[in-house]
Structure 1
Amino acid sequence: MENDLHYEISQFLYKEAYLLDHRQYRDWLSLLADDITYIMPLRVTVDNKVETNLINEMTYITDTKNDISVRVERLYTKSAWVDNPAPRQRHFISNIMIEPTNIADEYKVRSYFLFKRSRASEINTEELFGEREDIIRRVNGEWKIAQRTVYSDQAVLTVMNLSMFL
């Protein structure tokens, strides 16, 4: 049973990466729960004596499904310069760890990510990497992302914008 669950959730996350990599953002939206919160806290450089270097009160992203839907629809317009010409991008997901929550059919899922993006004929590629903490739940027989917190390992982001989804 545990192996089946890990396989199902892993395949769900790989499908999500595929949809994002192929810019199928509207299909990707269907993987999100209606009550999703999508957060990316700020990371700062501090001395080693501090327990954490994340500032949860300050974020790069704090979105609801409505916020995400607006961002997705903008990508389908001519004014979305970030997608013109369309970038080539890859989401690599690994180290998937799953633990149950106190709610039936809901799981806390941690994973590592590496995001790479190439634009036009640019020599340099953009990248982000870090850890994600998701709450994934089964809704009417389908997996949905109910919460996502993205922890970038970089204190200085090396991407031109955060229009992509991690």
Structure 2
Amino acid sequence: MDIGKVLTKYEFEQWLYDEAKLLDEIDFDGWFDLMHSDLKYEMPVRVNKEGMERPDYSVDMFAFQDDIETMKIRVDRLKTEYAWAEMPPSRTRRFVSNVRVLDYVENEKAVVRSYLLIYRSRSTDIHHDLISGERQDEFKFADGRWKLSKRFFLVDQTTLNTRNLAIFV
């Protein structure tokens, strides 16, 4: 067992857990501070294909496809009275698992894959949302810490049973 690999995996697990906590506690400014200026944040639309044809998601249609500027607009809007889809804010719980470090260069870059399950409830609604999928994240080391430079979230469902996607994955 390579202790360096174990410590690296632990470091990124903690990063992802801290990120989930910030989002679940609706600390959007704290969360946005984890983003790198080169950010690409994408969730392609999942599609059904015949047989084993891959990829089984659209390469040109996205539920969201943000960069740092559009992400800043989304975050700032959620802090206003005009974010009707999130009034009152959703109650969420993010469960992060199966964290795997695929590529790592110390204090430079990393690629990390993880699974995500989001439980979401709204106001007094008795129904809840479950959104699950796999994330592939790319990190860059900047200002003495790891920052998210790319997130590709591949949702498991082809049809999301949610009223909106005003939350972050």
Q: Give the TM-score normalised by structure 2.
A: 0.93
What SS class does the counterpart of residue 101 from structure 2 fall into?
strand
- Is structure 2 residue 94 aligned with structure 1 residue 113? no
Tell me how far apart the structure 2 counterparts of residues 90 and 7 of structure 1 sit (CA, whole Å). 21
Q: 1:143 is matched with which residue?
A: 146
Deviations 1:55-93 (A, max 9, x none): 111111110011011011111111111221222111111
Deviation of the 1:51 alpha carbon: 2.5
- Identity, % of aligned positions: 34
Tell me how far apart the structure 2 counterparts of residues 78 and 54 of structure 1 sit (CA, whole Å). 34
User: After the TM superposition, which parts of structure 1 deviate over 3 Å for at least 4 consecutive aligned residues?
Assistant: 101-104
What one-letter code is carried by the residue in structure 2 that aligns with 1:29? F
- Is structure 2 residue 79 aligned with structure 1 residue 76? yes
What one-letter code is carried by the residue in structure 2 that aligns with 1:27? G
- Is structure 2 residue 92 aligned with structure 1 residue 89? yes
Q: Give the TM-score normalised by structure 1.
A: 0.94
Q: 1:62 is matched with which residue?
A: 65
Aligned residue runs from structure 1 range 11-50, under 5 A: 11-50=14-53
Tell me how far apart the structure 2 counterparts of residues 91 and 162 of structure 1 sit (CA, whole Å). 15
Deviations 1:101-137 (A, max 9, x none): 5796211100000011101111110121010000012
Tell me how far apart the structure 2 counterparts of residues 61 and 87 of structure 1 sit (CA, whole Å). 19
User: How many positions carry a matched residue from both structures?
Assistant: 166
Deviation of the 1:140 alpha carbon: 2.4
- Can you give the 5+ residue segments of structure 1 that lack an aligned partner in the other structure? none
Q: Is the 8 A contact 2:139 2:150 kept in 1?
A: yes
Tell me how far apart the structure 2 counterparts of residues 57 and 68 of structure 1 sit (CA, whole Å). 19
Tell me how far apart the structure 2 counterparts of residues 86 and 135 of structure 1 sit (CA, whole Å). 28
Q: Is the 8 A contact 2:86 2:166 kept in 1?
A: no
What one-letter code is carried by the residue in structure 2 that aligns with 1:75? L
What one-letter code is carried by the residue in structure 2 that aligns with 1:119? R
What one-letter code is carried by the residue in structure 1 that aligns with 2:8? L
Deviation of the 1:165 alpha carbon: 0.6
